[in-house]
Structure 1
Amino acid sequence: MFILDEHGVDLNTVIQDVARALLDVGVMVTPTPGPSEPGTPRADLHLTLDAGARGRVDYPTVLKTGPLDRRIATAIALPPDRPLLLIAPHVPDSVAEVLTARGVDHADAAGNMRLAWDGMLLDVRGRRPRTSTTPHSRDATAARAFTRTGTMIVFALLSWPELAARPMREIATVSDVAVGTVHTVMRELSAAGYLRDGAAGRTLNRAGELLDRWAEAYTIKLARKLPIASFTLDTLDRLGDLEVDLKAEGAQLGGERAASRIDPHLYPTTATFYLSGVPASLVARYKMRRDDDAGSIHLRRRFWRRPGDTSPLVPSPLIYADLVSSGDPRQREHAERIRRVDDRLVELDRL
């Protein structure tokens, strides 16, 4: 299935460029339209090597047309019917390493590729991107729901699904965006099939798919805007006390330390706190040294407002997104584990 993001270029042109690169190494490509959901272009790619002598593979396919980096490669959701084939105008070597570690085959228009099936391996790296003259078009499928402010609204809906039935002004208050923006995003989510109206009012629909798209948009649009500062402690023995004091200041715990509270398989090496600003008194009391490059304690701006929320942890969709946006395959694997055991994430996958 092809899923165009908001950087979408002409679909057929990208397929043709990648198909030519694969043909150069003896792989035939046949795109075949498959079943689609409203507003989402979908197809499968059928790959055949040496006229069928080495077999044929049908790939669910994802097309990425915007810039690719390790964090985005980590955030891409894998379908249950693996293997997945990612195609793009260009796949950098660093991204190829992450995709390979996750078992994602890939090919680009420059001729870089990794395809593995039936005892066959094609692995080509290091080719520079081609200069493209392809005219750009945009994917209109709920595009504004995955802008920076749109992701803030979708986050609120995923974290508290009952909000979908509440007045727009209440959704705007929780997500900390303008009411007009909420109207636009809710309208687009409804048109794309992520919201539906029933006897109980608006409810989420296909929420697991929405979580996948939101986590990737969070990685690209929002996560990099949130860091306030990073610090190191003289000794991590005091981290527990620091967490208690930060909670008293209104901070909530996210990232892999929060994930370890949901499922203890992951031993956290960093601690991420969401709050409104740097608590100078605690920085002095704990002798925290600022280190934005290698610090293990990360302070990030809280981008939502939920009156009366006293939970020590951020909502689990954000914990999940922090892991999938980390660029670390180990954390990505842990994200899939908490998605199977956390009550909120399990509920979203059922909606």
Structure 2
Amino acid sequence: MSAGGLDITTGAGVTRTYGLHVQPRLTPQLATAVHVPGSPPTLVVAPSISEPVAERLRARGIDYLDTAGNAHLAWGDVLIDVRGRRKPAVRQPKAPARGARAFGRAGLKVGFVLLSWPEMAAEPLRVLARASGVSLGTAQMAVDELATAGYLYEGADGRRLTRGGELLNRWSEAYSITLGPALALGEFSVEDLSWWRNSESELVRAGAQVGGEAAACLLDPHLRPASLTLYVEQTPLALIGRHRMVRAEGTGNVHLRQRFWQAPGVDTWTVPSTLVYADLLASGDPRQRDHGDRIRTSDDRLTRLDRT
């Protein structure tokens, strides 16, 4: 992803300044995860924007255009809405993305630890690798690529995280399509979902941490959760039996996911807000996406990242 600015002037002489968000590829999940700052308005530019992607962007009030001529620009009395154009099929050599491996499945685990506990950047690589649940070689690769991309620098006291807000944007987008789906352990249905609110000690004993919209409602009560996401090291059979969870395929309201990290705070009953935020974006639900935008501006950990 790259960013810049663009002025668009109508025939009547009215000008609007956009902040550009250039994406080499856009899926509906990524369209949901695109971070939109308050000002200036965002213009998403991509080689091709399919109708499902365009629909999500329009629903979020984000203008866009692609190389085929599809476009949506709307402000004041201006409305440009072009749909259905197809980009000619042209085979082009694929250039390696900058820091691509750092945003692959294993590299994203390292990025999660650095974003959630920025002080871990100064730790020896073996400590960072253990906390991230990856090999020493993977930790070295991720650190090197993140440093090359400008997200880590060597200070007087060791490595430090910088441009944390930008890194969170890239990490959240990659998480939604690469790491998140790989963490799924199973889905279950339960009639009464309210049990978890008064079960902090039970969840800690079971080695489970709450994520997704359930954890988000603890950060900001505006969202009433319709599902429960639990990050666990292994399937909590006793917990499943006690609360009469029934296995479901794609329709459950309890989602079990693999917890891969071993870092400060694993004895708490909620996952770090960085992962809560990414879960909300990855859900594809505009209601959860709006809540993610809200906690991005109110949660201490996330606002600190945006200030780096």
1:274 to 217, 231, 238: 231
Question: Structure 1 CA distance, aligned partners of 2:113 and 2:176?
Answer: 16
Q: How does 1:275-314 map to 2 (within 5 A)?
A: 275-306=232-263, 309-314=266-271
Unmatched 5+ stretches in structure 1: 5-41
For 2:169, which of 193, 212, 219 is the aligned residue?
212
Which residue is equivalent to 1:333?
Answer: 290
8 A contact 1:253–1:272 mirrored in 2: yes
Deviates more, 1:325-334 or 1:163-172: 325-334
Does 2:4 align with 1:47? no
Quote how far apart the aligned CAs of 1:285 are. 3.0
SS of the aligned residue for 1:341 comes to coil
Question: Residue 84 of structure 1 contacts residue 105 of structure 1 at CA under 8 Å; is this kept in 2?
Answer: yes
Distance in structure 2 (CA, Å) of the matches to 1:286 and 1:270: 15
Tell me the amino acid that sits aligned with residue 105 of structure 1: D
The corresponding residue for 1:59 is 18
Give the drift of 1:243: 6.2
Pairing 1:146–2:107 present: no
C-alpha distance in 2, partners of 1:299/1:59?
Answer: 40
What is the aligned length?
308
User: Post-superposition shift, 1:232?
Assistant: 0.8
Q: 1:307, 1:318 → 2: CA distance?
A: 14
- Correspondence 1:51-90 to 2 at 5 A: 52-53=11-12, 55-66=14-25, 68-90=26-48
List per-residue Cα deviations over 1:276-313 (Å, max 9, x = no partner): 22222332333211112211111011121227731110
Structure 2: which 5+ runs fail to align? none
Give the alignment partner of residue 117 of structure 2, picking from 153, 160, 167. 160
Give the aligned partner of residue 186 of structure 1. Answer: 143
Query: Following the alignment from structure 2 to structure 1, what is the Cα–Cα distance between the partners of residues 236 and 100?
Result: 37
- 1:256, CA displacement in angstroms? 0.6
Q: Deviations over 1:214-235 (max 9, x none)?
A: 1111112111111111111133
After TM superposition, the structure 1 = structure 2 runs for residues 110-121 of structure 1, keeping only pairs within 5 Å, are 110-121=68-79
Between the aligned partners of 2:83 and 2:193, the Cα distance in structure 1 is 41
CA distance in 2, matches of 1:48, 1:133: 33
Identity of aligned residues (%): 46
Shift of 1:185: 1.4
- Contact 1:89/1:130 (8 A) holds in 2: no
Distance 1:126 1:137, change over 3 A: same
- The answer (yes or no) to whether the contact 2:153–2:160 under 8 Å persists in 1 is yes
What amino acid sits opposite 1:92 in the alignment? Answer: S
C-alpha distance after superposition, 1:240-287 (max 9, x if no partner): 466653332101000011011111111111110000222223323332
Task: Provide the aligned C-alpha RMSD in A.
Answer: 2.0
Instruction: State the 1:237 CA deviation.
Output: 4.6
Q: Which runs of 4+ in 1 moved over 6 A?
A: none
In structure 2, C-alpha distance between the alignment counterparts of 1:151 and 1:239, rounded to whole Å: 28
Q: Structure 1 residues 260 and 283, CA, compared in 2 at 3 Å: closer, same or farther? A: same
Tell me the distance in 2 between the aligned counterparts of 1:192 and 1:291.
Answer: 42
Q: Secondary structure at the match of 2:297?
A: helix
Aligned AA (2:41): P
Closer, same or farther: CA 195–225 of 1 in aligned 2, 3 Å: same
Deviations 1:50-75 (A, max 9, x none): xx335333322222222x33221111
Alignment match, 1:19: none
Deviation at 1:43, TM superposition (A): 4.2
